[in-house]
Homo-oligomer: A and B are copies of this chain.
Amino acid sequence: MKERLWQLRQKVKEKSPLVHNITNYVVMNTTANALLAIGASPVMAHAEEEVEDMVQIANSLVINIGTLSNAWVNAMKLALKKANQLNKPVVLDPVGAGATPYRNRVITELLSEGTFSVIRGNASEIMALASEQHKTKGVDSIASSDNAESAAKLLNKQYGSVVCISGATDYIIKNDKVVKISNGHALMAKVTGMGCTATALIGAFIGTGEDTFISVAAAMAIMGIAGELAFSVSNGPGSLQMNFLDKLYNMTEEEFFKTLKIEY
């Protein structure tokens, strides 16, 4: 398993998948940078007039509802359907699920109009998705990822998507398989959009065409290890954000295997 994860990281560099992001304004710059740092090719496009054409040339699609509005949601649906038609993998980031009825409605629509290869959220988002009764406090996680495990299993059963709960320990869930990764550092929660970055990296890894479940595990492992190593040379969230990108780019095989904390 461990060797496979590092192989996938190399695969991203070799194939440089084009990842089409329909994502939120807050993280466009940082997720594009993370995708470039890892060796993928980001493109951001949201016009209804072009999203289907963009999906056509892309290797994967990232849908992130962080700063949603109706025009963007329409574009997400068009892109999602086209990606499904073309059998291109799609990852959903249900940012702030549970925070407002509008968000819940949009997520429900997206889940009913197309198929997602992967859903990634924090514990409270995953639980909100599963229950639609749980209120999140904005976009931060207020629940531990352990509590969300059963919610994730429910979602996986209902929608068929690999479900990833990110947190101090990341859970990657498909059927009866669970991978747990305990890398990263608490300070990462003080950098905006780290969750969205995880989702974007998942977009890169599933864009290689390799097995989805392992791709998600690989993305989360790289994410957590880069954050953990970056933390060790940072003075706060500003330098952590910078060092994280450097480490995504220059992480060595030795660093990867020495730092990886995984259970499966």
Contacts and interface: CB of A to CB of B under 8 A. Distances in A.
Interface stretch (A93-101, A143-151, A217-225, A256-264): A93-101
Given A42-B138, A138-B57, A191-B36, A49 B241 contact: no
A66 B36 CA distance: 16
Bin chain A's interface residue count.
35 or more
A36 B192 contact: yes
A241 B248 CA distance: 14
A134 interface: no
A100 B36 contact: no
B43 A68 contact: no
Contact of A235 (B42, B44, B96, B246): B246
A236 B241 contact: no
A38 B68 CA distance: 26
A224 B26 CA distance: 24
Contacts of A140: 41
A141 to B, nearest CB: 11
B67 A44 contact: yes
Interface in A129-173: 135, 137-140
A53 interface: yes
A234 B249 CA distance: 12
Contact of A57 (B42, B50, B66, B135): B135
Contacts of A69: 46-47, 49, 71
Interface string A25-49: 1111110110011000111111101
Contacts of A241: 33, 238, 242, 245
